[in-house]
Structure 1
Amino acid sequence: MMLMTNKKAALSSALALVMAGLSSPGHAMEFKVSGQLDRAFTVADNGNETDYASVDNIGSNSRFRFTGNEKMANGMNVGFIYEMSVVQFGSTEFDIGKNSGGGDVDLDTRKIDIYLEGDFGKVSFGKGDGAGYYANMMDYSGTLYYGGGAWYTLYSSGISFVDDNGNQLYRIGATNSVFNAVGRQERIRYDSPSIGGLVLSTSLDNGNAYELAARYHVDLPGAKLATGLSWVDTNDLEIATSPTDGQPLTPGSEFREKQVLSASASLLLDGGLNFTVSYGNDETDAIANAGQANQEGFDATNLFGQVGYLTGAHHFAVNYGETKDLIVEGTKGSQIGLAYVYDWSSAVRLFSSYHLYSLDLPSSVKTAEGWGDANDISQLYAGVRVAF
């Protein structure tokens, strides 16, 4: 309770400082329209069947945005961002043997945000990233969201594991997760000024949820380092999507209060060699009306490691990730990945990757469901991003 009280007081003080400086007029607001198209082609095999599809790369989906900012006479900067995604058959929707069409168009408001920044730091209010979002995504490889990186389920979460008898087991997104906070929220957020490369952030989200984060960037002799750490408590926040893969929950499902601890670090050497690690822990107090996932709550952990190399416009990465105890206690979902990205120009990016997914299930689940061992899933994923 004391933490929440202090947190609210800090946000209120920061907002008061901002409001005190709003009386100074400024110059005309600069306005910009931008966005991107990001399409991919995927081929996947579940051990029984092979299928392919043209998809939108949910790693960094197709979108457009309107942005503006104005420099006030007192030095304060005031701006906004209105961003929407327009997705036609996202990569997280694809499943082997169920690819009969292009799916529906998904139009989503990603951000509706106003920010004010100055010597005091930055205050943002509206729909946008909570303080903890992406703190566990520090990655210098240049492959994050384009076939590489810790959030590899964005390319494949809808694909189902099967056994030799063709029984459908769990989807990749139900057994593997990066545990990246709770996503874009209606919130008020404060980011401190950089203190020797350290930025502290906090946000209050709707539903009495709160987030704390620290991010640190520093140049070292012959290298540079980025680290992130975040803590999220959802309290009464209504979670409309699965905490595993961001997909909509089945009606009647209930995920009660959850806490997410996440961290990451990435080191880039002057020669281009880079190393990335990510950690996430997601603890849910209770789960109800969720089928096989019914339990008093889960305490799941994700680990990820990656070695990359970049030279000029070329980015290479090899990585491994595993999630334990997510959908059911005793499960382990793992992934081995290879990724390559080529920056053809500042606007055009080509990417390709290979992924091998495995699932280990406890014998109690296999016996209860009449399942055999899960077959591995192999996936090729390649595409192009064009920004404007």
Structure 2
Amino acid sequence: MRFFKSMLAAGVVGLTAFPASALEVEVGGQVNRAVMYAKDGYSANNLGVGSDTEFYHVDNRNSPTRFNIGGTQRLFGGWTAGALIEVGVFSNASNDVDPTAKNTDPEVDERITDAFVDTPYGKVTLGLGEGAAYNTGRRDYSGTGVISFRNPNLIGGSLRYKLKSSSFKRTFDGSGNFTGNEPFDLANPAQNESSISGSIRDYNFEGRHNRIRYDSPRIGPATVSASAGHDGDGGASSVLQVGVKSGLRVPGGRMLVGVGYSRATQNNEDPGGSDGEDVNIYGGSVSYFHSSTGLNLSLAAVNRAQKLTEEESTDTFDATNSELGQFRYVKLGYRPNRQHAFDIHYGETRDRNKEDEKGSVIGVGYVWSPTDMFDVYGGAKIHSFERAEWCTTSGRTCYNPKYEDITIVTTGLRVKF
């Protein structure tokens, strides 16, 4: 159970110009475990070999097991300072397991290490945490995020699509004359493998990273945020973000709106940096809740743009030859009260790796929350992947891969404390 601890700083009065005040410390966390069933999801270089169905005991990465401790203290009229540390502690992450790795090593994930000052003029946060645009593409009134989260690859992300036996390649001679069709060598898929993570992603504005962030006071119904920091191996990317979030009353109910933009500039002079081009991510989401019925609708659209290097644009065997990835998502929910929440959702990412490809998911979810501290949930989803014919630079081989769908059913418990 969450608890608060107050400590009176009476002895500090003579050491500071500010009056003493109570320090509130909050300790909490959660455990989130699930059983995941998958059909036609295989491990790397093992497409279609072995059992086509598997069960996994996992930590649900939609909302992973974690521990946090935070504290706040009033400084003086309208000014508050505080800090938050949040650490994920889990094993068998739901986006890591596959048929050859049903048990994965325990993992400690530093999620947030923040210090902040909140004032009448806005809030300044310094440390590891969310950038200004983070989650602006994930606004959601459905109440089913623990099972039907906006980022579909967090459950089953390492599972790979089985190549169908109908996959084939067209071959040509040195003069460009067609010489026939040949079946794939499934043991050597030649850059035609793809995992769920490799096919679909919601592009959440560079994720958590070390930054300084400013959040404005409410300007009408909205809050404006800006941040600057570093991300990637060795801090290889300088990240700038802006975001706007709003919650407002609208006819018949309530609405959440988010819009964000991030730019990651590659520091190529850094030995640990990337030689790639800058990455721009832009988009947002909206969620509407109808008060009298509990029906809700959420929509999201986020794009990721990265100019390709000459090598990437000409090397057809490279995993990436698309400059613009596009994520689109719609969720219809029903939440008649605080105890029950249902949803049906569809999402797709186009051109995640190569041009003219699409990773998609359609799913349903249900969450029962008899108390604020306890959730029981279940859901099912089907992942699909399509890739258009693509040819090698020489033009002598053109691949036409076909993929089996992956079905995943997950049920679990989340207990907060």
TM-score above 0.5, yes or no: yes
State the alpha-carbon separation in 2 of the partners of residues 42 and 237 from structure 1: 40
TM-score, normalising length from structure 1?
0.85
Greater C-alpha radius of gyration: 2
Superposition pairs of residues 56-75 of structure 1, within 5 angstroms: 56-75=59-78
SS in 1 for 2:153: helix
Q: Distance in 2 between matches of 1:118 and 1:380?
A: 46
1:278-293 matches, within 5 Å, as: 278-286=300-308, 292-293=317-318
Deviation of 1:293 (Å) = 3.9
Q: Is the 8 A contact 2:164 2:404 kept in 1?
A: yes
Can you give the 5+ residue segments of structure 2 that lack an aligned partner in the other structure?
1-15, 42-47, 166-185, 231-236
Q: Could you tell me whether the CA contact under 8 Å between 2:389 and 2:401 is conserved in 1?
A: no
Q: Which sections of structure 1, spanning at least 5 residues, go unmatched?
A: 1-21, 239-250
Match in the other structure for 1:209: 239
Give the alignment of 1:1-388 within 5 angstroms.
24-46=18-40, 48=48, 49-95=52-98, 97-99=99-101, 101-144=102-145, 146-165=146-165, 169-206=193-230, 207-236=237-266, 255-270=276-291, 271-286=293-308, 292-295=317-320, 298-312=323-337, 313-364=339-390, 372-388=401-417
Following superposition, the deviation at residue 73 of structure 1 comes to 2.4
Q: Who is 2:171 aligned against? A: none
Does the residue aligned with 1:142 lie in a helix, a strand or coil? coil
- Distance across 2 between alignment mates of 1:284 and 1:337: 30
Partners of 2:387 and 2:401 within 8 A in 1 = no
Amino acid at match of 1:265: V
| TM-aligned CA distance change 1:330 to 1:316, over 3 Å | same
SS state of the match for residue 344, structure 1?
A: strand
- Kept in 1, the 8 Å contact 2:321–2:353? The answer is no
CA change 1:160–1:228 in 2 (3 A) is: same
TM-score computed with the length of structure 2 as normaliser: 0.79
Taking only the aligned residue pairs, the percentage that are identical comes to 26
How far apart, in 1, do the equivalents of 2:97 and 2:381 lie? 15
Determine helix, strand or coil for the equivalent of 2:266: coil
Task: Flag the structure with higher helix content.
Answer: 1
Say what the alpha-carbon RMSD is for the aligned residues.
Answer: 2.4
In structure 1, give the amino acid aligned to 2:286. Answer: A
- Count matched residues: 352
Rounded to whole Å, the distance in 1 between the matches of 2:156 and 2:316 is: 22
Residues 158-213 of structure 1 show CA distances to partners (whole Å, capped at 9, x for unaligned) of 11001134667200111101011001110000001112220000001124320011
Bigger mean CA deviation after superposition, 349-358 or 287-296 = 287-296
CA distance in 2, matches of 1:90, 1:386: 17
Query: 1:151 deviation in Å?
Result: 1.4
Change (3 A) 1:314 1:365: farther
> Within 2, Cα distance between the matches of 1:135 and 1:385?
24
**Residue aligned with 1:92, SS:** coil
1:73-114 per-position Cα deviation (integer Å, ceiling 9, x unaligned)? 22211110011111201011022x323x42111112111100
Q: Distance in 1 between matches of 2:350 and 2:40?
A: 21
